[in-house]
Structure 1
Amino acid sequence: MSRDAAIQAATRYLDEGGFVADLARRVAIPTESQNAERGSAMADYLEREMRATLEPLGFACQVHPNPNPKGWPFLVAIRREPGAKHTVFSYGHGDVVRGQDAQWRAGLSPWTVTQEGDRLYGRGTADNKGQHSVNIGALAAVLGVRGGRLGFNMVLVIETGEEIGSPGLQEFCAMHRKEWGCDLFLASDGPRLDPARPTLYCGARGALNFDMSVNYRQGAHHSGNWGGLLADPGITLAHAISSIVSPTGQIRIPEWVPAELPASVRAALADCAVSGGEDGPQIDTWWGEPGLTPAERVYGWCSFDVLAFKTGNPDMPVNAIPGQASAHCQIRFVVGTDYRQFLPALRRHLDRQGLGMVQVAQARAEIMDATRLDPEHPFVRWALQSVSRTTGVKPALLPNLGGSLPNDVFADTLGLPTVWVPHSYAACSQHAPNEHILLPVMRQGLAMMAGLFWDLGEGSPL
């Protein structure tokens, strides 16, 4: 009975085909949370797949309805051991974005796991079925080597609405916080900093989506007869957007950025180089907040992007001045800013610019707030040491993920120190056709998680 034996058992799970077989079964369940007709798929994933996987590992499982009528159900799996001194909370989401079946490359399907070299293709392989499958596989390996014991308690929640903003998750966790009695959080989602380097992160940037629009009139009018006489909503909206950021992407609204980059964040990011691997885009080094490194810009600062812009008929332009224009925009924000002030600050800014005709409206009711555990927290230092011991390399430490996750529920509502260990990479085509994972990353992920779970059984890291 040893740590090395548990790690070897975890990697054998992949080497001997068990991991791919389990993941293929899970990917085949089309859990599209944006599709109202997928209720039976959600039930199948939680009841037929997750319950059937977790109960043989000693978890007591129960599927709970969502307290929010807009949300999908939750599976709660609880495993307690006599004498355990701490309780770990873990998380995964069984829902995926729409399959986009027709857009996948020839020979690929979103609902079939297909292996090509070191890649496994399929919807959910990276986000998030592959990642929580790694963690469950590592748990099983530790239990097998330790004779059916972990050495700690665990509460695992699998939700089915993360891709629609996790409606109801905050209320659900608040209802059960005392009952669960957890001490720390450990889970997996999102990409590594670099596919070749183990990565940990301590929180997530928040995300606020909003719409800007200009509505001058109904209908469009001939540009020869009315050009120069009618205000162009596309031009007005373009000026509004250009007033928010500089030509090189620097945000011009003070309330949208933190006052400073904390020293602990800067120190953690000092040896972090952003890379999407050989398929990733090249970084535009001239874009964003000046004076910051690429890692500091994406993990330590806020960003503003226009995700969609429409005026007239982009697919079939005609010689007519449109009456309306709209843009769907997003702010990714970090700790040190208050998203509740973002849209009021934008309204004041536009009014100062003489752009009162530009309308602003929040696009989504659910907001994932920014969170960040101090990189110097004892749990973070402990996790870094465990991963380094397993892999023999220094992991990258990100103060927070560049994307957004419901980590505010775990950090704020449950009050837990949060550490994430991602098993994907930035060029995995997450949310797009041809989503995939890398088998070497999965294999190393199984080893790392087995090491972490083994070490948790040796004593509390707090």
Structure 2
Amino acid sequence: MTSTPDSAVLPGSGVDVDALARAVDARMGETIAALKDLVAIPGIAWAAFDPAELARSAGAVAALLRSLGLDDVQILSAGGAAPAGPAVVARRAAAAGKPTVLLYAHHDVQPPGDRQLWATEPFAATEAGGRLYGRGAADDKAGIMVHAGALRALLDTLGADFGVGLTFFIEGEEEAGSPTFRAFLEQHRELLRADVIVVADSANWKVGVPALTTSLRGLVDATIELRVLEHAVHSGVFGGPVLDAPTLLARLIATFHDDAGAVAVEGLVARDTDAVAYPEDDFRRDASVLDSAVLAGAGSISDRLWNKPALSVIGMDVPPVALASNTLVPSARAKISLRLAPGQDPAAAMDALARHVRQHVPFGAQVDFVPGEQGSAFAADTAAPAAQAALWALGEAWRTEPVKAGMGGSIPFIADLTEVYPQAQILITGVEDPDSRAHSANESLHLGDFRNAVLAEALLLARLNAPGNP
């Protein structure tokens, strides 16, 4: 990064870094308080949960955005699509010659899960050890407050001189898989059109080190159902000549990886780049890998996470141990999730997975392969002006060099954004760190990194606002 000179204005940027930092800090107590208020609302976009809470969450976000002086605030959904979680869209028109930036986050959250695993109440944001604990504290209500806090700092610092157009797009069903996202984009295409899109729903490298997410793996999933008997039979009377369905399903699943643990499905894209060093000890600690466990695959840790496929069994339907009886189980199901390297066509990956299953059916069992979701990978152009501005802003906010990092996860709607708005520059940022535990018990946000994320976005928008800058 380039250090900020004593004048506090970076040469050539037109951005007063120190003034924005003071503005962010002056409002940080207010920003954290607003985040706590949002965390207190259990807005979950799953059919099993009360939709009134999701509507209350959208209403709270709309009120927050109005408090920033935004008059054009709407709660919208994809017309005719059900279920459709309510999204909040708020707009601030661009001044002549200034770009428009779309600021994305989502207000819905994951279910809390087993309350006994939480050290605090999931929907009562609690500060401890420099972190804020609660469901949605990191994923992704902090993203909402990064956008809000950045705008507050810019208005406090630049006032009427801040002319960048802003469109807040706060989705309400991301944790349910964004089922109506594409329909929403198509219906509100012009409302959401922008030159730059900032998706605040990713992670930093580690506490104290920021990252710009430069790639995402794609995703396909499928359900496999294996049958070997017309009905259950006594395991003592008939066991031996026929293997039960769970055993055969396990044998089929075992063919998905080679002896080293690499994905063995033919026809999938994989790359070795060694772009970023991720020490094994750091990975083991971040992922809570047991000391005795041997890591799977080959190549660098970062490539195994970002540039190679990964296949997981994420669910199985077999009799639970508590209900087990001495019978041969006639059928069993598994749901499998396949992460895809950048450059992989999802449809081709689904075909390869289905072909592999058909070719490895054990002992003549009957197998149904039911395709599920498909999502494309993403690779950013880090040489683009907005990406360069974002990397500069991250470095200034954290006072350390940012990492251009891939992400092993998938954000399928990024592909929708790139298809609907092919000319827009997409930036993927975030507030999480390896210990944020999003989707798990004891989800939390590092408050120091949260402050830096607010400042970084304010710096990015100020740079986009400055004359002669991208």
Q: Does 1:22 align with 2:34?
A: yes
Q: Which residue of 2 aligns with 1:324?
A: 331
1:8 aligns with 2:22: yes
Paired AA for residue 66 in structure 2: E
Counterpart in 2 of 1:407? 414
Q: Which residue of 2 aligns with 1:374?
A: 381
Instruction: Report matched runs for 1:227-238 at 5 Å.
Output: 227-238=239-250
Match of 1:446 in 2: 454
**What are the Cα deviations for residues 367-421 of structure 1, in whole angstroms up to 9, with x where unaligned?**
3321111333333223212222333211011244534352112222222221122
Amino acid at match of 2:308: W
Alpha-carbon shift at residue 159 of structure 1 (Å): 0.9
Preserved contact between residue 2 and residue 145 of structure 1 (Cα < 8 Å):
no
User: In structure 2, what residue type is equivalent to 1:407?
Assistant: I
Contact 2:102 2:194 in 1 (8 A): yes
Encode CA deviations 1:58-99: one digit per residue, 9 max, x unaligned: 321111122321221221111013324211111010101112
Question: Separation in 2 of the partners of 1:167 and 1:300?
Answer: 26
Residue of structure 2 aligned with 1:39, choices 51, 56, 77: 51
Is 1:374–1:399's contact at 8 Å kept on the other side of the alignment? no
Q: CA deviation at 1:195?
A: 2.3
Match of 2:3 in 1: none
In the TM superposition, what whole-angstrom CA distance separates every residue of 1:171-194 from its partner, at most 9, and x where no partner exists?
221233334441111131122222
What TM-score, normalized by structure 2, do the two folds share?
0.88
Q: CA deviation at 1:329?
A: 0.9
- Pairing 1:359–2:368 present: yes
Which consecutive unaligned segments of at least 5 residues does structure 2 have? 1-14
Aligned length: 449
8 Å CA contact 2:278, 2:302 repeated in 1: yes
Measured at CA, do residues 401 and 157 of structure 1 come closer, stay the same or move farther in structure 2, by a change above 3 Å? farther
State the Cα distance separating 1:461 from its structure 2 match.
5.5
**Aligned residue type for 1:53:** L
Aligned counterpart for 1:56 among listed residues 52, 55, 67: 67
Counterpart of 1:146 in 2: which secondary structure? helix
Structure 1 runs not aligned, ≥5 long:
none
Worse overlay, 109-118 or 55-64: 55-64
Partner of 1:72: 85
Percent of residue pairs identical:
24
Q: C-alpha separation between the residues in 1 aligned to 2:263 and 2:285? A: 30
2:218–2:344 CA contact under 8 A, matched in 1: no
What residue is the counterpart of 1:270 in the other structure? Answer: 276
TM-superposed deviation, 1:451:
1.6
1:221 aligns with 2:233: yes
Deviation at 1:287, TM superposition (A): 3.5
Residue 434 (structure 2) aligned to one of 426, 439, 462: 426
- Deviation at residue 203 of structure 1 after TM alignment: 4.2
Closer, same or farther: CA 277–306 of 1 in aligned 2, 3 Å? closer
| Structure-1 residue corresponding to 2:11 | none
SS at match of 1:450: helix
Q: Distance in 2 between matches of 1:324 and 1:460?
A: 65
Q: Which moved more, 1:89-98 or 1:77-86?
A: 77-86
Query: Is 1:417 equivalent to 2:430 in the alignment?
Result: no
Is the Cα–Cα contact under 8 Å of residues 248 and 286 in structure 1 kept in the other structure? no
Letter of the structure 2 residue corresponding to residue 250 of structure 1: A
Segment drifting more, 236-245 vs 33-42:
33-42
Distance in 1 between residues matched to 2:467 and 2:307, nearest whole Å: 32
8 A contact 2:390–2:460 mirrored in 1:
yes
Question: Does the 8 Å contact 2:431/2:449 carry over to 1?
Answer: yes
Mark the CA change 1:306 to 1:339 in structure 2 (over 3 Å): closer, same or farther: same
Q: Which moved more, 1:410-419 or 1:452-461?
A: 452-461
TM-aligned CA distance change 1:332 to 1:169, over 3 Å: same
